[in-house]
Structures are given as structure tokens and as C-alpha cells.
Amino acid sequence: MAETTLLKKILIWRYKHISQKNFTFLLSILIGLLAGLVSVIIKNITFAIEWVLDKIIILTNNSIYFILPIIGLWLVYLFVKHVSKQPIEHAIPSILFSLSKKNGLLKRSKIYLPLITAPLTAGFGGSVGLLGPAIASASAISSNIGQLFHIDRKTKTLLIGCAAAGAIASIFQSPIAAIIFAIEVFSLDLTFASLLPLLIASVSSVLTSYFLVGDGVLFNFDVSDKFVLSDTLFYIALGIATGIGSIYFYKIYFAVYAVFNRIKTSGQRLIVGGLAIGIMLYFIPPLYGEGFGFINDLLENNYLHALGKTPFDDHLDNIWVVIALLIGITIFKAIAMTTTFAAGGAGGIIIPTLVMGSALGNVVAKIINNLGFNFQVSEANFTLIGMAGLIAGVLHAPLTAIFLIAEITGGYELFVPLMITVSMSFIITKNAIEHTIYTKELAEKGALLTHNKDQSVLTLMTLESVIETDFIPLHPDMSLGDMLHKGVAKSNRNLFPVISENHSLVGIILLDTIRDVMFDQSLYDSTTVETFMQYPPACIQFETDSMKIVMQKFQDSGAWNLPVIKNGVYYGFVSKSKLLTAYRRELINFTS
């Protein structure tokens, strides 16, 4: 009680002395600091697990690769079953669903669950990233802070974007790319009101990372090979390759899930997935965990160290064997990542996308340099730009891809080739695949927010909020007299649903239809409701129709009222006037 009273006093003081705009700035600082802290915690927990297991891997000559993923997945399984008792959700899709259908509300448990399940998954060899879980944890913190201070939905959405930007800025130390990621992926408006809080959160998160772990960067790289005009066609080829790679990434993701969905129990999925990952790790060790070390080795042109100890070590003096192994990493990184998810692991897809892109970019460069036509391109540059091309294609986030790599390299020397490759990759992927891994299922549910304001407003609206149920139902065999006395006389509506004994809708009666006969008493007993009823021009299905479909049905039918069917029976009506009023109100709230 004392805590509640204190909180009320704080809220009253805040309303009196701090404007909404300034309070949003203050919260963005706090959220940025906490997002940076979460990112550091999740990385350090994972690194600690990997440090211990590295010793064991060396002692066992890689043979323990077969068992480590199973152990990690088993630990996650036990934690989910006996401790959290909540299913693992993919980080960013669950956040996007919360923003569109749950008013931006995320459970408190989402704050700490990713900090446990993701390190156990990645630390024991699961081929996943930590950025998604860091974003999920930081977003849950932001959501709960918003609930605590009674923040409106639009501001809460902005602050969740701040949390995502803060996590990315902290991990990559790239505040500009972090801001653009929040705008592209979370569909935030690019206005001064949104840009400044995102910037504040990103900067405070980077400062938190500097304070806790120093100014070390994930990728220690300086551009030494400048862009030359003669390489333009090669960067176009890289863009085509990363576009095709992005489509493959998308297709294999859902294909692997389809295979695992045929396995009946979670225990069986765990064993099958763990063994599959272990076999892939034995032959391709760089698939272990996130893979930042692999990227750095490629950037330093140390591809032998990047490949690690494999059964093909005796043949690595042949560059085409190296290229084949790198192609294997490109192909199997997506498979290993999705297998980890499908088997019950937790993690993100952004960093695996970077790993796959780095391998693909390096492969393209090595092929060009070894074809025998005296072509020579920078393998380090292609490694970096390959990462950007795949991020642009997989996430449909081209600007994020460009600025992320530009900030990683510490300059804009590669800006032109970045734009060439990223634009090619994005165009190819966007034309082939409308939605991303993040958004496909949300779009199918009608729960996806986009930069299209009309579409987003319809997504935010709920069908339940516009249904009216104060209509007096009639029965088909009811006489005209009974209909007038029990229906028309007691209703202020000009529309009546006609329902059967099992409550299913069999038709409707409009007051205009019976207006000419309603005073002819000779018909009161000789005619029934069935004589005057008509079928509605369309029906709204409560379980399946999105608000976009509802609006389309009104447009196609020209009706002013449409009946709603729920669980196969009559439920109520939606009127066009109420629908448009609710739409206008939501649009004002969304754009204000």
C-alpha cells in the first residue's frame, strides 16, 4: 500500500512539473542505459560458458561437439518446463505482435527469460545470435516501465524502439544503424519527436557499454582497399549472390520448421535437433555459437583459423577446398540456426545472418580472384559488404545494412559499393518474397504494423470494439404481427437479424422492406418473417476476418450494416458509421 501511494505521488508530481516530451527524453536515457546493461550481461554469460567449454573441446579433439548442443537444448528444455513454464518465443516477432495487438504490453518474465535461455543455447553450440534476445529483454524492460508510468500506446511503442536501438548500439557500437533499425523494423515514423529519443537511447547505451567493457569493438577493421570503378560489376554480382542467399535463408528457415513440426514430442525434437547440430559442428566448427570470431578471421584474411579444425585439414592448401568449405558454412549456417530454434533453443537471426553473409562475400571474392583472369578484389571488403547484402535481403532493412557496415568500418569509404550490393540484394529479395522471417506469420494473422498508416490503423483496431449487439433477433416462423409487437415496437433499430433455433443466422429484415405492409392488419397472422427476410450481402467471420477484410467487405457490398458470425452462430452487427468513426479516432491517435 505504501509503495502504491508513493508511486501515485511521483506520478502526480511528474504530471505537474515535467512535460510529456521531456519525460520521454528522460525515459529514453534510462532505457538506453538498461539496454546497454542487458546486452553486456547476456554477452558475458555466454562468453563465460564458451570459455569453460572451449577447454573441454580442445581436450576431446572436437568429438564432444556431438553432445554439447544436446546438453544445451536439454538445459533449456528443463528450464522452460519446470521453471519458466512459458514457451520460447522468437524475440522480434513477439514484440511486433505485442505492439499491434497487445497495446505494447510485455510480461515481466520476458526481462530475464532471454538472459538464461539464449546463453545456454548459444554457449553450448546452438548456432544462434544473442542480439534478438537482448532486444527482447530490453523491450520488456521498456514496456514495463511504460506500464509503471502509465505511458500511452504511441509513446510506449517509441520507447520499445528505443530499447531495440539501445541493444544494437551497445553490441555493435553503431548508434546510427541502431536508430535506422528501429525505424525500419518497428515501422516508427521518422520525425523529430521519434528521432531524438532514439538517438538519446542509442548514445546512452553505447556509453554504458564503454563504461562496463571498455571501447573494444566486435570487428577490428580499417578499410585499406578503396573502391575502384572497375569493381562495380563484381559488387553487382555480389548483390545478386546475396539476394539469392537471402531467398535461400528464408526458404530453408520454413522448410526446416516444417520437418520438425512432423516430430510429435518436444523431447524427440530436442534429440534429433541436437544430434543434427552436433554433426554439423563436427564437420564445420565455425557454426558453433554466434560466430563473431569467424567473421574477424575472414576480415584479417586468416581463413585457415576461421575454418578451425576440420576432417579436411590435409587439403586446405588447395584454395578450392577452402572455397568449398566456406560455401558449406554459407549453406549450413541457416540450417544449423533454424534447427536450433526448431529443437527448442532460444536466440536471434541477425548475427547468424551476418556470419552467413561474411562467408558468402568471402566466397565470391575468392572465386573472382582465383578464376585465372587476373582479376583482383579485396576479400575483406567483400566479406563486409556480403554481410550488408544479406542483412538487407533477410531483414528487408537496406538502410540498416548500409549504415551498420559503414559504422563498423569507421568511415564511409565503402559507401558506394555498399549501396550497389545492398540495393541489388534488396530488390531481388523484395520482389521474390513479400515478407521477412519476422513478419510472415504476423502478416498472415493480420497483426503486422507497417509504414502504411492506413494498413497500420486497421491492424491496431479490434473487431470486438466495433460490434453492436443490441439488435432484437427474430425467428423465421414468427408472424408479422408478433414481429411488429415483439421486435419493431421495442427496438430503435431499422435492422433485425433472423436466427434459427440453433442461433445460426438465416437472414435479415430491413425496416424499409416491411414499411408498406406493417399497418395492414390482414397480414399480421397470414404472413411470417420468412416472407420478408433477405440474405445479407456479406457476413463477417469473427475468428478469421481482419479489419482490412471487414473494410473491404463494406466497400464491395455497399452495405451500411453487416452481421458478425462467431463460432458459427449470430453474434451482432458492425455498422459502417461506427467503423469509420472508430477508424478516424484511431488514425488521430496514431498520427498525433
**Number of Cβ atoms within 10 Å of the Cβ of 531:** 15
What average pLDDT score do residues 74-91 get?
Answer: 88
Please check whether residues 508 and 579 belong to one and the same domain. Answer: yes
Q: What is the mean pLDDT of the chain?
A: 87
- Cell 571488403: give the residue: 381
Q: Name the most confidently modeled range: 280-284, 487-491, 569-573.
A: 569-573
Q: State residue 591's pLDDT score.
A: 66
Backbone angles phi, psi at 124, to 5 degrees: -95, 15
**Does the pLDDT at position 184 exceed 80?**
yes
pLDDT in tens, 426-467: 999 999 998 889 888 888 777 777 767 777 777 778 888 899
CA dist 396 and 450 (Å) reads: 12
Q: State residue 396's pLDDT score.
A: 93
Cell of 24: 520521454
**Does the pLDDT at position 488 exceed 90?**
no
Among 114, 225, 210, 158, which Cα is nearest to 21's? 158
105: confidence class by pLDDT, cuts 50, 70, 90: confident
What average pLDDT score do residues 470-496 get?
Answer: 85
Please check whether residues 109 and 142 belong to one and the same domain. Answer: yes
Which residues is 575 bridged to in the sheet?
561
Please say which residue of 451, 479, 509 terminates a domain.
451
Q: Name the most confidently modeled range: 68-72, 280-284, 311-315, 335-339.
A: 335-339
301: confidence class by pLDDT, cuts 50, 70, 90: confident
Burial of 165 (0-12, 13-18, 19+ CB in 10 A): buried
Q: Strand (E) positions, 447-550?
A: 467-468, 495-499, 505-510, 540-541
Whether 223 is in a domain gets the answer no
Torsion of CA 56, 58, 62, 63, to 10 degrees: -50
Please check whether residues 95 and 180 belong to one and the same domain. Answer: yes
What average pLDDT score do residues 205-226 get?
Answer: 76
**Does the pLDDT at position 16 exceed 70?**
yes
Question: Do 361 and 382 touch, CB atoms closer than 8 A?
Answer: yes
Whether 293 is in a domain gets the answer yes
How far CA 238 is from CA of 350, 366, 420, in Å, comes to 19, 12, 9
The DSSP result for 48-94, as a single string, is: HHHHHHHHHHHHTTTGGGGTHHHHHHHHHHHHIIIII-S----HHHH
H/E stretch holding 365 reads helix 350-369
Among 255, 386, 239, 261, which Cα is nearest to 327's? 386
Distance in Å from the first CA to the final CA of the chain: 36
What average pLDDT score do residues 44-70 get?
Answer: 78
What value, to the nearest 5°, has the Cα angle with vertex 419 and ends 414 and 425? 125
What average pLDDT score do residues 45-73 get?
Answer: 79
215: confidence class by pLDDT, cuts 50, 70, 90: low
Whether 151 is in a domain gets the answer yes
What average pLDDT score do residues 411-418 get?
Answer: 84
Q: State residue 69's pLDDT score.
A: 84
**Does the pLDDT at position 186 exceed 70?**
yes
Domain that holds residue 69: 15-213
Please check whether residues 414 and 338 belong to one and the same domain. Answer: yes
| Total of domains in the chain | 3
What average pLDDT score do residues 318-329 get?
Answer: 91
Q: State residue 216's pLDDT score.
A: 62
**Does the pLDDT at position 364 exceed 90?**
yes
Please check whether residues 135 and 156 belong to one and the same domain. Answer: yes
Which residues is 565 bridged to in the sheet?
541, 570
**Does the pLDDT at position 150 exceed 90?**
no
What value, to the nearest 5°, has the Cα angle with vertex 91 and ends 85 and 93? 110
Q: State residue 167's pLDDT score.
A: 93
How far CA 225 is from CA of 84, 374, 443, 562, in Å, comes to 50, 17, 42, 65
The reported pTM is 0.83
Q: State residue 514's pLDDT score.
A: 81
Least confident of 18-22, 116-120, 186-190: 186-190
Give me the percent of the chain exceeding a pLDDT of 70: 94
CB within 8 A of 228, min separation 6: which ones?
Answer: none
Least confident of 182-191, 246-255, 259-268, 429-438: 182-191
Q: State residue 12's pLDDT score.
A: 80
Q: State residue 2's pLDDT score.
A: 58
CATH code at position 496: 3.10.580.10
Please check whether residues 367 and 465 belong to one and the same domain. Answer: no
Please check whether residues 459 and 447 belong to one and the same domain. Answer: no
Please check whether residues 385 and 483 belong to one and the same domain. Answer: no
Please check whether residues 325 and 376 belong to one and the same domain. Answer: yes
Among 353, 351, 372, 349, which Cα is nearest to 361's? 353
Indicate the pairing of strand 467-468 with strand 569-575.
Answer: antiparallel
**Does the pLDDT at position 62 exceed 70?**
no
